[in-house]
Amino acid sequence: YNRGIAIANTLKGFCYWTFGDNDLAIEAAMEALEISKRENYRLIEAESYYILARGYMDVRETAKAKEAIEKAEELALEGKDWEQVCSIYNLKGVILFIENKTDIALHFYTKALETGRSHAVDSINFPRIISNMGECYAPENPSLALSYYTQALAMARRTGNKITEASIASIIGHAYLQKKDLNTAERYLQDALQLARNLGLRRVIRHAYSGL
């Protein structure tokens, strides 16, 4: 059942990326991509490129990440999979943010949120986008950034998005660390650490420990 194998590999790829195992994520996405291209599964192909973009981004293969996310966007728009499109715009923003292109990153985060809302995408996808928008404001307006983080954390909890909840709690902890509010920072960082341990999110565990 080739379609099932391809889908399973994209899901494996997402899990590996979430754990921080980028090489395994890329390997799984490549397997999915090979099947989906051969069998003409266009939306699975888009998801494969999306996972590849995540993996390449984290190992600092920026050119490959950009190439993969552009291909993912083209295929997702063709298939009118708006949840996928929403995620792709968000990831495009992250890649640009890493390159210090904050204004363009914010444009894509806003586009991701608008696309999701206009096409009734499940709101479980929104907390990460809102948190990312906050990071764009953080250098010049920390209070505004914190309001975005707080809104995103509340939505993550409301929608049961535990992965994003852990990540945002750690981000908020670091924000309070910058404000020298050490007690509040510790509380959020400990919450993030406990949840990240339960889920096996090594990336978030490292981020929380660095704050602590």
- Averaged over 52-57, what is the pLDDT? 96
Q: ∠40-17-198 over CA atoms, to 5°?
A: 130
DSSP string, 46-73: HHHHHHHHHHHHHTT-HHHHHHHHHHHH
User: 33 falls in which pLDDT band (50, 70, 90)?
Assistant: very high
91-149 pLDDT, tens digit per residue, is: 999 999 999 999 999 999 999 999 999 999 999 999 999 999 999 999 999 999 999 99
Helix ranges (DSSP H) in 40-161? 42-58, 62-79, 82-98, 102-118, 126-137, 142-159
- According to DSSP, residue 107 is labeled H
Residues 27, 52: Cα–Cα separation, whole Å: 9
In this prediction the pTM is 0.91
Average model confidence (pLDDT) across the chain: 96
Nearest alpha carbon to residue 67 among 82, 81, 49, 55: 49
149-205 pLDDT, tens digit per residue, is: 999 999 999 999 999 999 999 999 999 999 999 999 999 999 999 999 999 999 899
Are 127 and 166 a contacting pair, CB within 8 Å? no
* Number of H-type helices and E-type strands within the chain: 11, 0
Nearest alpha carbon to residue 73 among 101, 109, 103, 49: 49
